[in-house]
Amino acid sequence: SMAQAAQAADKLVGNAAAGQSEVMMVCAACHGADGNSTNPQYPKLAGQHADYIEHQLESFQKGRRTNSIMSGMAAMLTQQQIADVAAYFSQQKTAPGPVDTDQVALGKSIYEHGVPAVGLPGCQSCHGAKGLGDAAKLVPHIAGQHAQYVVQVLTGWHNGQAWGDGPHAKLALSVGQKLTVAQIHAIAAYVQGLNAVR
Ligand code: HEC
Ligand code: HEC
């Protein structure tokens, strides 16, 4: 809650209205005015947990996560602007993504059961059956995310590009490394359509 957030000395309270004007000036060009990017190389931020957005922007600022576009974007933001844009995006509604019916069966199986042969647990054990993640544990909402972006992220981990060396970064790296390229494409297609798959 706002009160809890304000209590933590180093934690700023995000102002969604201020965040919205920052977003309209800078971020909307790629991520969409409401956080539902239309270009699938840019992640949807609508409905993402505020703390997770803040965590990722700080990772770009500190160089734990690097990207030719986002490292520069994050560098321009103050801590208060980070809290504000995170508040704004987290309050928007994720637009559903299209389902790729050819990939659903394999993707669903990995999402629910993982790949036992290589010791990979089902994605749902952390991200939840509906892909909503877990705000308190900094596990991201992934339901409806663009498949192209999910492939980009998982392929980076598969190839050993970690987002730092914290426990979550190591975990994510091992998820990517346990998946084959074909499995990455199937699971990304499933994640994109997760909201629409019953
Ligand atoms: C020119 C395009 C562009 C602009 C403008 C832009 N971004 Fe991004 N953003 C990207 C790309 C590309 C990625 C994916 C980076 C990667 O693959 O690691 C990204 C990733 C992110 C992520 C990580 C999301 C996740 O799911 O892990 C956050 C948070 C983010 N951007 C916030 C912002 C904010 C806030 C602004 C405005 C201040 C902004 N971006 C402006 C292109 C852009
Ligand atoms: C043991 C828990 C766990 C499992 C299992 C897991 N994840 Fe994650 N996932 C995480 C955490 C934690 C993060 C955040 C990583 C970070 O902050 O560096 C994450 C991040 C992600 C992201 C990046 C989201 C973004 O936009 O920033 C994607 C995509 C993702 N996971 C997909 C998957 C898929 C697909 C599977 C199954 C093959 C899976 N994960 C299995 C915990 C898990």
What does the DSSP 8-state code read for residue 69? T
Rounded Cα distance between 61 and 58, Å, is 5
pLDDT more than 90, % of the chain: 88
For residue 197, count other CB atoms closer than 10 A to its CB. 17
Q: Domains of the chain: which residue ranges?
A: 2-90, 104-196
Position 197 scores a pLDDT of: 57
The pair phi, psi for residue 46, each rounded to 5°, is: -60, 130
Quote the pLDDT of residue 8: 56
Matching fold, domains 2-90 and 104-196: yes
Band (pLDDT 50/70/90 cuts) for residue 7 is low
Q: Considering the domain 2-90 in this protein, what is its CATH number?
A: 1.10.760.10
Q: Report percent pLDDT > 70 for the chain.
A: 93
Q: What is the pLDDT of residue 198?
A: 45
Q: Please count the helices (runs of H) and the strands (runs of E) in the chain.
A: 11, 0
Ligand whose nearest atom lies closest to the CA of 174: 2
Distance from Cα 28 to the centre of ligand 1, integer Å: 10
- Rounded mean pLDDT of 152-169? 97
For residue 52, which atom of ligand 2 is closest to its CA?
Answer: 17
Q: Where are the alpha helices (DSSP H) in 8-132?
A: 16-22, 28-31, 50-62, 70-75, 79-90, 104-113, 124-127
Average pLDDT over residues 38-45: 97
Structure tokens belonging to residue 34:
């409401």
Average pLDDT over residues 140-167: 97
Compute the CA torsion angle 56, 176, 107, 135 (nearest 10 deg): -30
pLDDT digit string (tens) for 74-122?
999 999 999 999 999 999 999 989 888 888 899 999 999 999 999 999 9
Mean pLDDT, the chain, integer: 93
Dihedral pair phi/psi, residue 157, rounded to 5°: -65, -45
169 lines ligand 2 (CB under 6 A): yes
Residue 81 is predicted with a pLDDT of 96
**104-196: CATH topology:** Cytochrome Bc1 Complex; Chain D, domain 2 (1.10.760)
- Ligand 2: which of 42, 49, 124, 127 to mutate, most ligand atoms within 8 Å of CB? 127
CA angle 74, 144, 69 (to 5 degrees): 20
* pLDDT category of residue 154 using cuts at 50, 70 and 90: very high
